[in-house]
Amino acid sequence: AQKVTQAQTEISVVEKEDVTLDCVYETRDTTYYLFWYKQPPSGELVFLIRRNSFDEQNEISGRYSWNFQKSTSSFNFTITASQVVDSAVYFCALSEGGYGGSQGNLIFGKGTKLSVKP
Amino acid sequence: KAGVTQTPRYLIKTRGQQVTLSCSPISGHRSVSWYQQTPGQGLQFLFEYFSETQRNKGNFPGRFSGRQFSNSRSEMNVSTLELGDSALYLCASSLETSGGSDTQYFGPGTRLTVL
């Protein structure tokens, strides 16, 4: 069965600290997709990144970076030099299925609430 | 390009009533999915529509239903509301051109309170 685990329920850091949000997933499929979303207090889920199971390259986007390791079934997210505006709940999600598979079934972790204090 | 829009943003109903929520996807997006978010259960998948057909369904009772129109707009309906249906209902749309899991873009949600 598919499952996404975000073991860190809440993290609090001081501005400019680096912080890593952990995500561990379970799936039997060889083709799958992993996502990170940010949910600020307004409630809307904001898309951050999508990776497919065949692309283990790490990715960096500004202060954000992602480390995908199939060997440990992990897809961790690091924010460098955190800012107050990074305060939000962050969700890791998994979607299975290859070509022609259904699009809709995102399996979400429980989320990690990040608080960045000035 | 406008994002996913959902109406209404807030709704208060009483037990036993029914409710209809609306979602307009990003222009050109053909797939619409619905999710329920509660503090206890987190984000859970309700159903997905593509070309006016329900293609995938989560583990929710039959009181939860939906539909999609020819312009890809979608509605979801909850009948005989229960207190436990109080939640944030999120709609997401995706482009779906080549199969696989396209990125889903979410709307702001409808916060439903059942009294």
pLDDT band at A99 (very low <50, low <70, confident <90, very high): very low
Pairing state between β B64-68 and B110-114: unpaired
User: Which regions in chain B score pLDDT beneath 50?
Assistant: none
More confident residue, A96 or A7: A7
Per-residue tokens: A41: 């207090």
pLDDT value at residue B97:
63
Whether residue A75 is predicted with pLDDT greater than 80 in this model: the reply is yes
Measured over the CA atoms of residue B9, residue B103, residue A8 and residue B46, the dihedral's sign is positive
Whether residue A104 is predicted with pLDDT greater than 60 in this model: the reply is no
Size of interface A-B (CB pairs under 8 A): 85
Per-residue tokens: B36: 């329920």
Helix (H, G, I), strand (E, B) or coil at B85: helix
| Minimal Cβ distance to B48: which of A96, A99, A103 | A103
Measured over the CA atoms of residue B62, residue B52, residue B24 and residue A42, the dihedral's sign is positive
Helices (H), strands (E): how many in chain A?
0, 12
| Percent of the residues in chain A that have a pLDDT greater than 70, as a whole number | 93
Q: Which residue numbers of A have CB closer than 8 Å to B's CBs? A: 31-33, 35, 37, 42-47, 50, 52, 91, 93, 95-111
